[in-house]
Chains A and B, each alone.
Chain A
């Protein structure tokens, strides 16, 4: 008798769990808003013919390493070279010069922060270890170019200088 009850309740439980599963998938089937696919070339500029959505990017996305500059064309890179040491691929090359500061002391300053996008593995070690938080990731992902030399970038803008208060 006990086994018969178990048999029947087993059928009931099984059917119930199957129906719950089907209701979940059925709900997704009928809710087109839940679709997460981004239709890439159309949504590229947010006004493609077929795109219903703007291109959505996420903060965690690592597009390429950039050095943010403020309105006065100033950045935070002191030219310490820590990023160059930490980069596993030798992607970064720091060319620094000694400058005489306002107080008459000699000070190291960056001339070129060279970043070779083609060699970068987007590990973020440079961004994380920079003591003055001079680097960050942009969300640009369309990197294709016809000439390899275009992938070698100088991150500090021409004529830029070190932000005040950053040592």
Chain B
């Protein structure tokens, strides 16, 4: 099979890698090599996106507060975060006496590994997808909530009151908000009728075997086709997702003003950097899940045919923008909204946090699910 690279459809490219690898070695080793390639690719992606997000956060925060933000290292301060990372790499890793050394060192890796596991299931572009489970959404929900184990371990093993309190708060927060995240995702699963993220095709006939959520949004993103219940679910998902990533205004696990730095008080150097990076990647993951299930992931903006025949021209124009650009664009718009949350709203109190979840988000969510089920049953969606 000859080399082919198509920016609009990565299927042939990934297939080319697969075929050329199996022609050199046994299928088993080909699989090992493929996993290695994907691992390295995700690692690089993780580092680049993480560093960029730290930079973006500082810039967004600065603009909102009428400042300039980092602007000295590189053009517009673009490589400031690289310099910060290099500095963190050189810093001493303080070992805590009487800390549980094994768990203490393990905790940041658990957080990072969980991030990787979620990223594996995200469809970045057509055919650019590490694993395509038939329970993709369910898998993401299950795996992403494991990150709290890392936080709890970090708080427990540090042998520090502040860390422990931060970790316990984080536990309470995740237990509450995981519910809302899950329920609002389920609302969209009801609309989609599947948990799989992208289509699987029959390898021979090229027929669609199972429809995926992204491909189902070909004639309009779910937030438009699902109208009212989808919009409510989207808002709830954004709020609960922000809470789940421990970001302000829900930054109870860190709580700089009360707990110095919460669960990562005792961490220094690169171990702290891992926590810091994973926090930003969590935000990226929440944003990409939101982009995927509400805004169509890499699917370009298409109008449905109910508007008439002229839409196919419009849809063709939209198709010229590569899917990867669509995906990144949508994700960063949502990230921007989440950042705006942090720099606009004052922090909540812990009781307000729980009130918001149990008295507001959860009941609204349950009603919304019934509403969505009704809409789907009656065929009121587009």
Contact = CB atoms under 8 A, between A and B. Distances in A.
Interface string B335-359: 0000011011100000000000000
Nearest to A39: B68
A21 B66 contact: no
A48 interface: no
A37 B69 CA distance: 9
Contacts of A26: 340
B64 A28 contact: yes
Main secondary structure of the interface of B (DSSP, over half): helix
Given A11-B360, A37-B68, A21 B345 contact: yes
Contacts of B340: 22, 25-26, 29
A25 B67 contact: no
Contacts of B360: 11
B63 A35 contact: yes
A28 B345 contact: no
Contacts of A39: 68, 71
A37 B63 CA distance: 10
A34 B67 CA distance: 9
B143 interface: no
A71 interface: no
B328 interface: no
Interface string A18-43: 10011011101100101111010000
A34 B65 CA distance: 9
B67 A21 contact: no
A117 B238 CA distance: 56
Interface in A22-76: 22, 24-26, 28-29, 32, 34-37, 39
Given A11-B360, A29-B60, A36 B66 contact: yes
Contacts of B63: 28-29, 32, 35
A25 B68 contact: no
Contacts of A28: 63-66
Contacts of A11: 360, 364
B331 to A, nearest CB: 18
Interface residues of A, number: 15
A29 B66 CA distance: 8
B60 to A, nearest CB: 7
Nearest to A19: B344
B65 to A, nearest CB: 8
A40 to B, nearest CB: 11
Contacts of B66: 28, 34-37
Contacts of B341: 22
Interface string B49-73: 0000000000010011111100100
A165 to B, nearest CB: 48
A44 to B, nearest CB: 16
A107 B159 CA distance: 78
A11 B368 CA distance: 15
Nearest to B69: A37
B344 A35 contact: no
A35 B360 CA distance: 38
Given A25-B64, A26-B340, 20 more contacts: A11-B360, A18-B344, A21-B344, A21-B345, A22-B340, A24-B344, A25-B340, A25-B343, A25-B344, A28-B63, A28-B64, A28-B65, A32-B63, A35-B66, A35-B67, A35-B68, A36-B66, A37-B66, A37-B68, A39-B68
15 contacts: A11-B364, A18-B344, A21-B345, A25-B64, A26-B340, A28-B63, A28-B64, A28-B65, A29-B60, A29-B63, A35-B63, A35-B66, A35-B67, A37-B67, A39-B71
Counting from the closest, the 10 A-B pairs by CB-CB distance are A25-B344, A37-B68, A25-B64, A21-B344, A29-B63, A34-B66, A36-B66, A37-B67, A29-B64, A22-B344
